[in-house]
Structure 1
Amino acid sequence: MHKIIFSIFLALLATSVQADYSRLYFDHMPASSAESGDSEIAYRVFNRGADNPKLLLIMGLGGAGAAWGDAFIQALEFEGFEVIVIDNRDTGGSEMFTDWGKPTLWWQLLKYELGFSVDAPYTLSDMAADSLAVLNTIGYERVHVMGVSMGGMIAQVLAAQHPERVESLTSIMSTTFAPHLPPPTSVAEGNLRSLADGDAEASREDAMRNRGFYPESMERHLMAVFASGDRTKQVQTIRKPTLVIHGSEDPLIPPEHGVHTAEQIEGAEFVLIEGMGHNLPESFHPQVIGLMSEHINKVHSP
């Protein structure tokens, strides 16, 4: 398990920056904020419309809303969706937990593997509650929910714990975090070894921030995943229409994780996208959005 987690943290540093990315459109939309407990959660709403299906997007590890990029958001708008994009806590314009500090990963990993609780400033349930706070602030009772990677985990928690607020679930390149599932492939480990030091590393971090990722928050997000642990039993309680999408070439969370997720949810559909890895490059947008649109249109009630 420690191999999976440490790879998730570091491989993102090597793979999260893509050339086909812009955030000018995203940044043009002013952010609003919602109160979630003691935290402020920033969000943006695109393509508002009373009759437009409401779609909540939840980004993955260390990712703010900007990480979705203009192309993905605009493609969803073209399909007629009203798109709600949140900054996960500890990213973007949302509450930062810098004062909590950074966890000592090796120690927390050891505690987790020995069955002890880890130290975490928040859990995936808290992050799901952030989404509820945004929906409450906007005044929406139910939405369609889509999450990628850790965002898929949060979306699963939201569908399991608050089914009355979820119309449908789309979980992409995510996992239940069951311990028997396979670790990252050698490709992901190769990405780890390619990480540079010095100026190159600083340049990579700047690029990640511009792309909407916050390296200093990734370890705390990991602790949220640790603290939540294996969620298989929880995922088995989901009764919402569910689509699970995974890339055949995902080196970070291998496809077996997606298969396992779909198997736990009654009636869930699993789709393997050939050639897709652990990202959403623009070349795969038509296929991913087409699948999700078809899924949502089957269940959407205006």
Structure 2
Amino acid sequence: MGTLTANQTKIAYETSGSGETGTVILIRGQGTQMTHWPESFYQAFTYQGFLTVRFDNRDTGLSEKFDHISDRELEILKQTALAGKEISPPYTLYDMALDVIGLMDGLGIPSAHIVGISMGGYISQIIAAKYASRVLTMTSIMSGSGSLDPRLMERLWLTRKSRESFIEEWVEYVQQFGSKKYFEGDDHSRQQAAAAYDRCYSPDGANRQLFAIASMKNGKELAKSITIPTLVVHGAGDLLLPPSRGRETAKLIPGATFKLIDGMGHDIPPGLGKPLASVVLEHIQSTIKFNS
């Protein structure tokens, strides 16, 4: 693992692969760390000769935290957002997109295939729209393009818990919102949650990221401006963010392809990693063949 300063923010990252066929940058969702990417997913790109870059978004994992904004200030922001009023978040998704550009600069990567999951899908769309020269293809997974439903904010809001309570909450999350066809069992969920907690437990960071999502107001217009070859992937069984959100995004982005995956919910368990990567690789390789 390495760290570098991107957009004036310390970002922790890991890479794998030779890079002979290009670079794939993977962007995680709200509150999750780069370790949540299953090896079966990212190694599929590595085996095809890509340099695969995984990293912790700001406010998660081993990247820089914005803990100077916490407690009462976060609660006020939450109540303001739930009331339907505009908020001034600690940072925006545009700031997080600049983190990715800064990471690319620091690693000497002029352009890459960008893949984002959930919140990472929103960030990917910003990069594709605003920094098109740095993007070869874009894939948005289990994400959307419109504003965040306030009811979803309530569901995603985190309160500080003990290690044991955090683990059991994650088990319940996977049971309810996970990919049922690829379910690995409660013991796997417990092991994953324990590893995440021990590496870095930052519920305030996840909540600050939530404000960045909630303050995104022009997502649909942004999507319409994307000219990069785009794949939108969604799980047929996603109960957190319904497939209609993915279909909408694909319709907004000119020429985008939409892929619905049976049995996929709002996570990527190890058993789903390889088939999901195959879908993304097909998209990437089709553009390489087209341009060669």
Category of TM-score, reference length = shorter chain: 0.7 to 0.9
Which of 228, 242, 247 is the matching residue for 1:240? 228
Q: Aligned partner of 2:11: which letter?
A: I
**Does 2:171 match 1:201?**
no
Q: Please tell me whether the aligned partners of residues 70 and 204 of structure 2 are also in contact (alpha carbons under 8 angstroms).
A: no
Cα distance in structure 2, aligned partners of 1:211 and 1:288: 26
Q: Please tell me whether the aligned partners of residues 57 and 63 of structure 2 are also in contact (alpha carbons under 8 angstroms).
A: yes
Q: For residues 18-76 of structure 1, give each alpha carbon's deviation from its aligned partner in whole angstroms, at most 9, with x where no partner exists.
A: xxxxxxxxxxxx3131x233311222221133x22210000000122222133322222
SS state of the match for residue 224, structure 1? Answer: helix
TM-score computed with the length of structure 2 as normaliser: 0.80
Please say which of residues 141-150 and 117-126 is displaced more in the overlay: 117-126
Cα distance in structure 2, aligned partners of 1:283 and 1:222: 28
Please say which of residues 214-223 and 105-114 is displaced more in the overlay: 105-114
Cα distance in structure 2, aligned partners of 1:82 and 1:208: 24
Report the alpha carbon displacement of residue 115 of structure 1 after superposing the two structures with TM. 5.5
Structure 2, unaligned runs of 5 or more: 169-192
Quote the residue 2:244 is aligned against: 256
Quote the residue 1:69 is aligned against: 38
Quote the residue 1:44 is aligned against: 14
CA RMSD of aligned residues (A): 2.9
Aligned-residue identity in percent: 33
Distance change (3 Å), C-alpha of 1:69 and 1:212: farther
Cα distance in structure 2, aligned partners of 1:66 and 1:31: 14
Report the alpha carbon displacement of residue 214 of structure 1 after superposing the two structures with TM. 3.7
Q: Please tell me whether the aligned partners of residues 34 and 55 of structure 2 are also in contact (alpha carbons under 8 angstroms).
A: yes
Quote the residue 2:269 is aligned against: 281
Structure 1, unaligned runs of 5 or more: 1-29
Distance change (3 Å), C-alpha of 1:292 and 1:183: farther
Report the alpha carbon displacement of residue 96 of structure 1 after superposing the two structures with TM. 0.9
**Does 2:114 match 1:126?**
no
Q: Aligned partner of 2:115: which letter?
A: M
Report the alpha carbon displacement of residue 268 of structure 1 after superposing the two structures with TM. 0.4
Q: Please tell me whether the aligned partners of residues 40 and 271 of structure 2 are also in contact (alpha carbons under 8 angstroms).
A: no
Which of 150, 158, 168 is the matching residue for 2:119? 150
Report the alpha carbon displacement of residue 114 of structure 1 after superposing the two structures with TM. 5.5
Report the alpha carbon displacement of residue 282 of structure 1 after superposing the two structures with TM. 1.8
Alignment: residue pair count: 264
Cα distance in structure 1, aligned partners of 2:83 and 2:46: 47
